[in-house]
C-alpha cells in the first residue's frame, strides 16, 4: 500500500495523480494499480511479459511530507514501447507472499454441464425421448446432442448458456446438413439455453425450431426449477 502517482506512455498516454493505492506485483512481473473505490479492475496496469526496474532517487526518504519520493518503479513491456512509471511517494506496507500453484477456476453452469445434464435427462425435450449421443459428429462440427423423440424422429439440440442469433444460425446449418442424410431425415431442431433473446426466439420459430429454457439449478436437483417448451 502506497501513496503513488503513475504515468503510462506508449500506445496510449494516461496518468494517475498522487493518491493512496494498492500496488500489486505478480510473479510474472505483471503490475496492477488498484484504488479502494471503483470496479474490480485496476486503474492502470502493465501485463506480462515485461521487466521491472527499481529506481532509488537521490536523497530518497520515507517521510510522506517531503517532496522526495521513496522509490520509483519503471515497468517496460517487452513486445512494445509501452512504459508504466510509478512514483512511490510513501510506502505504508510492503509484503511478499508465495501463493503457490493455483488449481484454476472451476466454472459451474457452463455449456458442458448443461449438455451433460440434458443428456442424462433427455425426457425434458418430450415424453418418450431417447438419447442417441452427445457431440454427434458432422462434417461441420459436432451437434451438442442428438436424440430421438417419442415418435422416433431425430432431434438435433444446440445448447448455449445465453442463446442468441448466432446459436440459431449454428443449429440451422446442422439441421440443413443432417436432413441430407436419408438414414436420419427428417431431423428437427431444438435451441436450448438458460436465456434466449427475443430476436433469437423469433428467428428460431421462423426456422421451425423449438426453444427450450434450461433451469440449471433444477437440472442439478435443486428447488424452484421450471421448464418451458415453446
Contacts 24+ apart (CB under 8 A), 47-55: 47/77, 49/77, 49/78, 49/79, 50/75, 50/76, 50/77, 50/78, 51/75, 51/76, 51/78, 52/25
Residue scoring higher pLDDT (198 or 103): 198
Lowest mean per-residue pLDDT among 9-18, 65-74, 111-120, 207-216: 65-74
Q: What are phi and psi of 171, to 5 degrees?
A: -65, -35
| Structural domain contains residue 180 | yes
Closest of 10, 11, 16, 55 to residue 32, by C-alpha: 16
- Cα–Cα dist 28/172, whole Å: 45
State whether 142 and 222 are in the same domain.
yes
Boundary of a domain, candidates 34, 60, 91: 91
| Structural domain contains residue 117 | yes
* DSSP 8-class letter at 123: G
Q: What's the structural domain count of the chain?
A: 2
Q: Looking at the predicted structure, is the pLDDT value of residue 125 above 90?
A: yes
State whether 84 and 128 are in the same domain.
no
State whether 130 and 69 are in the same domain.
no
State whether 152 and 82 are in the same domain.
no
Q: 82: domain CATH number?
A: 2.70.180.20
State whether 45 and 147 are in the same domain.
no
State whether 85 and 178 are in the same domain.
no
Cell output for 133: 449421443
State whether 213 and 122 are in the same domain.
yes
pLDDT for 223: 39
| Structural domain contains residue 62 | yes
| Structural domain contains residue 97 | no
Closest of 157, 217, 198 to residue 227, by C-alpha: 217
Average pLDDT over residues 111-132: 94
Instruction: For Cα atoms 221, 227, 229, give the angle at the middle one, nearest 5 degrees.
Output: 150
- Contact yes or no for 28/16 (Cβ under 8 A): no
| Structural domain contains residue 218 | yes
State whether 115 and 225 are in the same domain.
yes
Residue scoring higher pLDDT (96 or 111): 96
Q: Looking at the predicted structure, is the pLDDT value of residue 148 above 70?
A: yes
| Residue 73 burial by Cβ neighbours in a 10 Å radius (0-12, 13-18, 19+) | buried
Boundary of a domain, candidates 59, 91, 123: 91
Q: 184: domain CATH number?
A: 3.40.1350.10
State whether 86 and 121 are in the same domain.
no
State whether 59 and 115 are in the same domain.
no
Boundary of a domain, candidates 91, 124, 139: 91
Q: Looking at the predicted structure, is the pLDDT value of residue 38 above 90?
A: no
State whether 45 and 13 are in the same domain.
yes
| Structural domain contains residue 167 | yes
Closest of 99, 93, 100, 96 to residue 22, by C-alpha: 93
Residue 120 domain boundaries: 111-229
**Percent of the chain scored above 70 by pLDDT?**
91
State whether 79 and 189 are in the same domain.
no
- Cα–Cα dist 146/164, whole Å: 20
Amino acid at each position: 500500500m502506497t501513496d503513488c502517482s503513475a504515468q503510462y506512455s506508449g500506445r496510449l498516454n494516461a496518468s494517475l495523480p498522487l493518491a493512496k493505492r494498492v500496488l500489486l506485483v505478480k510473479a510474472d512481473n505483471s503490475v496492477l494499480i488498484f484504488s479502494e473505490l471503483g470496479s474490480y479492475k485496476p486503474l492502470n496496469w502493465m501485463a506480462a511479459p515485461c521487466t521491472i526496474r527499481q529506481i532509488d532517487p537521490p536523497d530518497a526518504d520515507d517521510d510522506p511530507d517531503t517532496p522526495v519520493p521513496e522509490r520509483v518503479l519503471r515497468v517496460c513491456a517487452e513486445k512494445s514501447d509501452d512504459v508504466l512509471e510509478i512514483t512511490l511517494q510513501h510506502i505504508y506496507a510492503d509484503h511478499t507472499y508465495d501463493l503457490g500453484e493455483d488449481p484454476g477456476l472451476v466454472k459451474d453452469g457452463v455449456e458442458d454441464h448443461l449438455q451433460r445434464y440434458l443428456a442424462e435427462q433427455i425426457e425434458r425435450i418430450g415424453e418418450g425421448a431417447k438419447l442417441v449421443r452427445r457431440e454427434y459428429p458432422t462434417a461441420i462440427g459436432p451437434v451438442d446432442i442428438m436424440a430421438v423423440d417419442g415418435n422416433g424422429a431425430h432431434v438435433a439440440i444446440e445448447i448455449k448458456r445465453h442463446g442468441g442469433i448466432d446459436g440459431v444460425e449454428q443449429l440451422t446449418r446442422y439441421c440443413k446438413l443432417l436432413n441430407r442424410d436419408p438414414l436420419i431425415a427428417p431431423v428437427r431442431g431444438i435451441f436450448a439455453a438458460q436465456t434466449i433473446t427475443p430476436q433469437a426466439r423469433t428467428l428460431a420459430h421462423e426456422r421451425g425450431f423449438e426453444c427450450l429454457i434450461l433451469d440449471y439449478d433444477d437440472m442439478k436437483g435443486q428447488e424452484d426449477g421450471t421448464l418451458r417448451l415453446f
